[in-house]
Amino acid sequence: MVYKNKIIRDRMTYKYNYENATEKRQAFQETGYMNIPKEDGQIKHPEHLSQHEHLQVLQREALKGNYQTVKEMINELPEHQRKDMTEMIKRTVESMGRTYE
């Protein structure tokens, strides 16, 4: 960032690394509270967990070579996800040196 012909570097420095348990405890002792939001993604969006599990099963079946099962599972998905999922599965299979049929 340039301010009045001087270059100012945008660097945010933090007092504590909250990924470090010792520093997290120290911050809590000094401030008396935690600034880290609770993980509520699975509570608010349970469909993401089921989609993730569906993707894992799709990849497993594709890597086994069960392409008919993969196609059936892709057809169970909403229309707007089918093309992207097919491409993801093709790339997964190709990354293992095989071709998706």
Q: Measured between alpha carbons, how far is residue 72 from residues 19, 24, 35, 77, 100 in Å?
A: 42, 47, 45, 9, 15
Q: How far apart are CA 72 and CA 76, in angstroms?
A: 7
Per-residue model confidence (pLDDT) at position 20: 74
The 3-state DSSP class for residue 77 equals coil
Give pLDDT tens digits for 6-65: 555 555 566 767 677 787 788 788 888 776 656 666 666 777 778 888 899 999 999 999
In this model, does residue 75 exceed pLDDT 90?
Answer: yes
Confidence of residue 87 (pLDDT cuts 50, 70, 90): very high
Q: How far apart are CA 73 and CA 62, in angstroms?
A: 11
